[in-house]
Each structure stands twice: as C-alpha cells, then as structure tokens.
Chain A
Amino acid sequence: MKPVGRLEPAVILAVMGRELANFRTFWKSTVFTSTFEPVVYLLAFGLGLGSTLVADVDGIDYVQFVGTGLVATAVVFSSALPAMFGTFVKERFQRTYDAILAAPVDVEELVTAEMIWIALKSAAFGCFPLIVTMLFGLDPKPTMLLVPVFSFVTALAFGAFGITMAGLVTKIDQFNYVTTLVITPLFLVAGTFFPIDQLPHGFQIAAQFNPLYQLVELVRGACFGLDPIDLLRFTGLLALALVMWRVAIRRMTRRLVI
C-alpha cells in the first residue's frame, strides 16, 4: 500500500459511499418531504397571498417570486439541519465516526466528504421548488442550470455550519437554540416571501450579510435575469463555504480526537 496523503479523493468518495448506502434505505421519505413542502408553501403563500393581497413583486408574479425564493428554504433545511442532527447522531449515538476514524481516514477527509454529500443532496432538493414553480407558470431558461451550482455552494457553507454546531453542543436539545436564534431569523429575512426593501433600514443592511438572501437573489437572477453584482454574491458564498469548511474541520477535530 502506498503512503496515505491528505484529502484523498478515493477516501472522500468512500465516506460518501457510506452515506449513499444508508441514503438508499430512506430516500423515499426524504424526497417526499422535499417535494411536498414547497408545494404546500406555494399553495399557502403563493396562491393564498398571491390571489388575495399581492399580485406581483417588482413585476414578478407573486407565485413565481415565492417559488424561486423557496429554493433557498429547501437548501438551508436540507443542509444545516441534517448536518447538525446527522453529525451529532453519528458521532454520539451511532459511533460511526469512531469506526471511520479507525481506518486510514482523518477528520479533514471525513468532514469534507460529509459536507460534499450534504451539498449534493441539497443542490438536488433545491431544484424541486423550481420545478414545482414551473408548473405554476415559471418559464424555463438556460441560466436556471446555474441554480444547482448556487445551491451546492450555499449548502456547503450551511452543511459546514451544521457540522460545527454538532461539534459544539453537548446535548441534542441544544440544537433548539441554533434553529431559533440562527436558522429561523435567516430564513425569515431572506426575501423569500416579501422583498427586503420593505424591511426597516437596519434589517436591509443585515440582510446583505445573510447568505440565504444572497442565494435567493442569485436564484431569482438565474430565473429572471442575472446582474454583474451576482458574481460578487457568488464569490461571497464561495468564501463563506471555504471559511466554514475549515471551522468545521477544526471543531470536529477537537470533538473526535481527544
């Protein structure tokens, strides 16, 4: 056997292969939830509010406004939450990471593989709201092919965030603080259901630092027309993913190597 190196693709693929083997046993329920939820949101907000209170936002049909915004919702809920709970359960209860780290795999490879796996799933789940919105009249465009790329990078950042949180908490109940204090506020001020220019000025500035808002803007750009500033948004998300990747590795190393 040749000497082992850092971040070996074969090892990262092997860790992802373990995830895939497990995912095959429960994919139906996950896909059902990921498809059904955007339909419910679209019916409740898009058709409900759209038919009674709001016809359009900046010339975009309200159903399509919400539908494109729901991509970000799907991405955060299919990346940050599974990363938090999945990582904690595998580390604490199933002892899966003890088994993996007894093989020639290090924490850097383990975290990287988990992040990529989560981001791939999220990129796929992020497409579901878009497909559902097409049923409500959204016209397909070639630039929409960028949506999974935007979703993937954002999910890398949120996946790494979730893994970091799993490496910080000592009890699974403590995730309630994370969802209430971080995920929900980010979700609500992402411009999914209403444009952020209707918020007070301070919130508008804060929203610029909200990665979900940046994703919402990128997805709407891909659907209704990209701006040069979208390159900056994408670069920002990429930088966040890189920083969170290193933070997650550092945190999980402290948790897993005693």
Chain B
Amino acid sequence: MPAIELHGLTKSFGPINAVDGLDLVVDEGICLGLLGPNGAGKSTTMKMLTGQAIPDSGEIRVLGFELPREAKNARAYMGVVPQLDNLDIDVTVEENLAVFARLYRVEDVGAAVDRTLEIARLTDRRKDAVDKLSGGMRRRLLLARGLVHEPKLLLLDEPTVGLDPQIRTELWSLIDGLRSRGTTILMSTHYIEEAERLADEVAVVASGKVIARGTPSELITQHAGRRTAEVYGPPDRLTEVRGEVEAAGFRVRAAGPAIAIVGAETAPPGLIPEEAIHRAGSLEDVFVMLTGEEAE
C-alpha cells in the first residue's frame, strides 16, 4: 500500500490556483523530494496532507486513511517538520518535546524525549530554554519534535530553508539517517542540491502540478541528456551561439554569466564552440528546463 496517494488534487485561493490537478503516489520506505520553485504549490500540498487545508476537489489517502475526513487518525502516524520555526522559545528543550509526546498520546513520554534528544544530539542541552539554542540546534529540535512518536511517515516542508551551509549539512545527515531506517519521507524543497542529496525519487512541481517524476538520474537522462556544455563569453557572443544552437534544435538555458547547452553529447561536430566547458547533465538542468525558473 502506498504511503501517500493524491489524485486530481486542486486548491484555489481566490483567483490563484495553488494546486491544479496534482497527482502523486509515494511508496512506503522511500524519500520523495517535491522539487519546485516558490509558489509552485508545495506547501499547500503539505497542508492538505495534514488536513490543515481542504482541497477543492480530488482524492487524498495517507497511510490508508481518507482525508480530510480521517485526517486526525492519519496525523497520529505522521510527523511534520514545518518550514517556519514554531517552537515554544521560553520553554526548555525537553518540555517542548514532552508536550508533543503527550499530544501524540505517547505512552512513555520520558523514553520518547530521551530517544529524540539523542537523535537530535541535544541531550546535553535538554534543560536549556529554546531561545538559548543556536539556529541549527533549533532546527534539529524541530526535526526531533516531528519524530517524538516514531512516525511511519515524515513530512518535511522546506527543512533547510534559510540555513547556512554547515547547518544544512548537519540536518541532511540526520534526515539521511531516518531514510536509511526506512521512514517514508516526503520533503518539499526548492534546493536542487537537497533533492539530489536526499531523495530516492524527485517529483518536479510547477504551477500546482507534477510535471516530471523519477530518480534524479532518470530525470537527467530524460530531460537534460548526459552532457551539458557551458559557454562563457561577452553577451553578444552568447546571443550568437545561442541562436545557432537553438536553430539546430538544441535547448539552451541561462546559467549565470554563461549559457548551458543541454544534451550536448548529440551535437554535431563544430556546433558547440571549442571553448565550451563540458560537464555531466544535472538535476539543475532538468529543473530549469522544466520550470523556467533559476535554480537555488
């Protein structure tokens, strides 16, 4: 049985179609990255998975429960790590966890708090108020709070947004640990590197629907090709190269000060300038080609 099944999901806010016919199936035991630009409908989808947003139409099944009717039952087996820090900052680390252990009806609250403190590597800070913690520790505590009842499914909504690279790497290793223990994870992100690093499969979301789905290597093969050629130079030169390459049927995207020609392995000799730098196709190429958005 899949952990999550979404069929024909729609949700509008006035004239804005936040989610527009989204279909998605997440099998048990995998980490699926929901990759999309800001405003693609990822957070709204996450809210519908917890019953905090009601779809206008479509079907949602989570862990066998039909939502939104059985959302409360489904939430008992789900852990949620929100995008925004909503910890109680004046309260101690262990009290933050104990409150949620009780909300999740955990029988041995003390053991659950000890276990999650261990996972988040915060055992020695358990008596400290949350506002005494660093940003990275607070994020680890947020993650620990979502694990206090040993959920079957973990929803991570932009888990590392706004964090510096070191803290991001720390969190990735924690999430990696959960993934290897078999917890099903649905992670929304707009960071390519995060999706590449953590996700077994990636669903690219744009304008409220899934526009591509597969393992990172499958997506790269299907949508970007094996090799990408990056050409650097003055704007006039880049415009000229772009025109020639596109006329030959190849797709080109802006890549900072350069242009990137995807699927370069099939280009005829002489089409791609000699000074071009060749590299492997990447998920970033896929993301930009599919969504038209600059990658982060």
- Whether the pair A102, B52 counts as a contact (CB closer than 8 A) is yes
Residues of B within 8 A of A102 (CB): 50, 52, 75, 78, 80, 82
Q: Distance (Å) between the CB of B47 and the closest chain A CB?
A: 7
- Whether the pair B72, A104 counts as a contact (CB closer than 8 A) is yes
- Whether the pair B52, A11 counts as a contact (CB closer than 8 A) is no
On whether A96 and B76 interact (CB within 8 A), knowing A103-B103, A257-B51, the answer reads: no
B88 within 8 A of A: yes
Q: Please, how many angstroms separate the alpha-carbon atoms of A257 and B71 in the complex? A: 12
Q: Distance (Å) between the CB of B107 and the closest chain A CB?
A: 9
- Whether the pair B90, A22 counts as a contact (CB closer than 8 A) is yes
A228 within 8 A of B: no
A26 within 8 A of B: yes
Residues of B within 8 A of A10 (CB): 102, 105
B215 within 8 A of A: no
Q: Of A13-21, A216-224, A239-247, which binds chain B?
A: A13-21
Instruction: Point out the residue from B52, B86, B105 that lies within 8 Å of A94, measured CB to CB.
Output: B86
The chain A residue sitting closest to B85, CB to CB, is A95
Instruction: Point out the residue from B52, B54, B76, B105 that lies within 8 Å of A101, measured CB to CB.
Output: B52
A53 within 8 A of B: no
- Whether the pair B95, A104 counts as a contact (CB closer than 8 A) is no
Which B residues between 59 and 105 are near A, CB-CB below 8 angstroms?
72-73, 75-78, 80, 82, 84, 86-88, 90-91, 95, 98-100, 102-105
Residues of B within 8 A of A98 (CB): 52, 82, 84, 86
- Whether the pair B90, A103 counts as a contact (CB closer than 8 A) is no
Residues of B within 8 A of A157 (CB): none
A100 within 8 A of B: yes
- Whether the pair B105, A104 counts as a contact (CB closer than 8 A) is yes
Residues of A within 8 A of B102 (CB): 10, 13-14, 17
Interface flags for A230-258 (1: CB within 8 Å of B; 0: not) read 00000000000000000000000000111
Q: Please, how many angstroms separate the alpha-carbon atoms of A102 and B72 in the complex? A: 9
Instruction: Point out the residue from A21, A105, A256, A257 that lies within 8 Å of B91, measured CB to CB.
Output: A21
- Whether the pair A104, B76 counts as a contact (CB closer than 8 A) is yes
Q: Please, how many angstroms separate the alpha-carbon atoms of A102 and B99 in the complex? A: 13
Q: Distance (Å) between the CB of A107 and the closest chain B CB?
A: 10
Instruction: Point out the residue from A22, A26, A95, A100 that lies within 8 Å of B84, measured CB to CB.
Output: A95
B53 within 8 A of A: yes
A52 within 8 A of B: no
Q: Please, how many angstroms separate the alpha-carbon atoms of A18 and B92 in the complex? A: 11
- Whether the pair B75, A103 counts as a contact (CB closer than 8 A) is yes
Scoring A3, A26, A99, A258 by chain B CB atoms within 10 A of each residue's CB, the highest score goes to A99
- Whether the pair B105, A18 counts as a contact (CB closer than 8 A) is no
- Whether the pair A95, B86 counts as a contact (CB closer than 8 A) is yes
Q: Please, how many angstroms separate the alpha-carbon atoms of A104 and B76 in the complex? A: 5
Q: Please, how many angstroms separate the alpha-carbon atoms of A11 and B76 in the complex? A: 12
- Whether the pair A257, B72 counts as a contact (CB closer than 8 A) is no
Instruction: Point out the residue from B73, B84, B99, B104 that lies within 8 Å of A21, measured CB to CB.
Output: B99
A25 within 8 A of B: yes
Scoring A95, A101, A104, A105 by chain B CB atoms within 10 A of each residue's CB, the highest score goes to A104
The chain B residue sitting closest to A256, CB to CB, is B52
- Whether the pair B52, A258 counts as a contact (CB closer than 8 A) is yes
Interface flags for A187-205 (1: CB within 8 Å of B; 0: not) read 0000000000000000000
Q: Please, how many angstroms separate the alpha-carbon atoms of A257 and B102 in the complex? A: 22
Q: Please, how many angstroms separate the alpha-carbon atoms of A207 and B152 in the complex? A: 56
- Whether the pair A103, B104 counts as a contact (CB closer than 8 A) is yes
Interface flags for A89-116 (1: CB within 8 Å of B; 0: not) read 0000011101111111110000000000
Interface flags for A1-38 (1: CB within 8 Å of B; 0: not) read 10110000011011101100110011000000000000
Q: Distance (Å) between the CB of A57 and the closest chain B CB?
A: 44
Residues of B within 8 A of A103 (CB): 75, 100, 103-104
Q: Distance (Å) between the CB of B73 and the closest chain A CB?
A: 6
Q: Distance (Å) between the CB of B220 and the closest chain A CB?
A: 34
- Whether the pair A95, B82 counts as a contact (CB closer than 8 A) is yes
Q: Please, how many angstroms separate the alpha-carbon atoms of A102 and B149 in the complex? A: 13
- Whether the pair B53, A106 counts as a contact (CB closer than 8 A) is no
- Whether the pair B88, A18 counts as a contact (CB closer than 8 A) is yes
Q: Please, how many angstroms separate the alpha-carbon atoms of A106 and B73 in the complex? A: 10
- Whether the pair B86, A104 counts as a contact (CB closer than 8 A) is no
Q: Distance (Å) between the CB of A25 and the closest chain B CB?
A: 4
Instruction: Point out the residue from B87, B98, B103 that lies within 8 Å of A100, measured CB to CB.
Output: B103
- Whether the pair B103, A14 counts as a contact (CB closer than 8 A) is yes
- 17 further A-B contacts with Cβ under 8 Å, apart from A21-B99, A95-B86, are A1-B77, A14-B103, A15-B103, A18-B99, A22-B90, A25-B91, A26-B90, A94-B88, A95-B82, A96-B88, A99-B87, A102-B80, A104-B73, A104-B103, A106-B72, A257-B53, A258-B13
Q: List 9 A-B contacts (CB under 8 A).
A: A11-B103, A11-B105, A22-B90, A25-B91, A96-B88, A102-B52, A257-B51, A257-B53, A258-B53
